[in-house]
Structure 1
């Protein structure tokens, strides 16, 4: 199975959620691979998102197709670096290659669903379409998340892509009124299930602690036991 992981924007917790899904699958005995088509904002010898995944989920297979130092959209970062961008077809082909030796392949995007990989307009949505893969959306907890989440759900629906559901990528230790209300409102505005809320700071945990937190933070569809508070 291939699952595409996107976000409603940057810094919403995509990598930690990707690692959490991988951790639960691996704990259940699945062979897991994580593909990062384009990594931006990281130098050649610096650890990127996949380093965080392998630290949290030891033994998971990983592959990165392109790395560009400027913290920009992949198409812009590749252009500024004078490097070839990563097109949707290449990303889809890499995912299929990884699937040959994996039970689950997670494809983690950069930023949001429609962030451009190439100047021709390739996006993560095109990768999902080429793979006919469901899309898991990671969103923020607080104010503004209903708008960006609904826009992402609308973009997925317009393209005929299957939205597996939404996960809050960084749930605060002391949620306010907006955060608590959003747990109820997110499924309403997106028309998709809310499949978890990963606590802020989870990415700093040791692997054993992390898989336990993942199990309590993700719903049954993702291998965990999380339920919405009003369920």
Structure 2
């Protein structure tokens, strides 16, 4: 994989930390992280791309557009009176980075079908233009099976490859729902479970984060964790 798109089944479920873990696990490879649209932050504030770089270390961090309101990119751009981001903009930027790096991670905003522009362009459209596989980040608990199944169905409808699923925040004391979801998530996604990132991983010191990242991820993502649950 030269370009890997990272999406989620919703917001605030650990996409940025998972992106950082994949970047940190890519030892010996040059990595770029592309955040197409950052919303909810003012110029100069610490964004997701910068957070990936802080945790993962030596990566190229690129942000294409920033809008101050914490809304979907299309809505935030419209409210700010700014030009929206287009899927082609994302594809062009990612392909340029891919010419100079071994791995490009494209972290979306929210879920797969969140709108970039008023014409309905989405991260899925950008992934189609790039021909890139999509990694799905999902929460551990109740509701995740339905949301993951819907995301996987949307990927299949667009003939996009679901690279796998990563649980973005595994609780220190998982309940029955989370433990069962370890088995059920790959089934509903039709793709392997490629990682389980512990709750609070983003709060680790960067050096500790980098040391531990590979243990959270399966070999396909540069890690050492088995694909079997547990």
1:2 aligns with 2:8: no
Question: Runs (4+) of structure 1 moved beyond 6 Å?
Answer: none
**Partner SS state of residue 111, structure 1:** strand
RMSD of aligned residue pairs (Cα, Å): 1.0
**Partner SS state of residue 70, structure 1:** coil
CA positional deviation for 1:213: 2.1
* Native 8 Å contact 1:202 1:213 kept in 2: no
Structure 2 unmatched runs, 5+:
none
CA positional deviation for 1:207: 2.1
TM-score (norm 1): 0.97
Which residue number in structure 1 is paired with residue 30 of structure 2?
31
**Partner SS state of residue 44, structure 2:** coil
CA positional deviation for 1:169: 0.3
* Segment of structure 1 superposing worse, 68-77 or 218-227: 218-227
1: distance between equivalents of 2:188 and 2:204?
32
Which residue number in structure 1 is paired with residue 111 of structure 2?
112
Which residue number in structure 2 is paired with residue 21 of structure 1?
22
2: distance between equivalents of 1:14 and 1:69?
20
* Native 8 Å contact 2:182 2:229 kept in 1: no
**Partner SS state of residue 187, structure 2:** helix
2: distance between equivalents of 1:58 and 1:189?
34
CA positional deviation for 1:227: 2.3
CA positional deviation for 1:212: 2.4
1: distance between equivalents of 2:72 and 2:82?
14
The alignment of Structure 1 onto Structure 2 pairs a total of residues equal to 229
Q: Cα deviation per residue 1:161-219 (whole Å; 9 max; x = unaligned)?
A: 01100000000011000000000011111111011110011111122211222111101
Q: After the TM superposition, which residues 71-220 of structure 1 pair with which residues of structure 2 at under 5 Å, given as runs?
A: 71-220=70-219
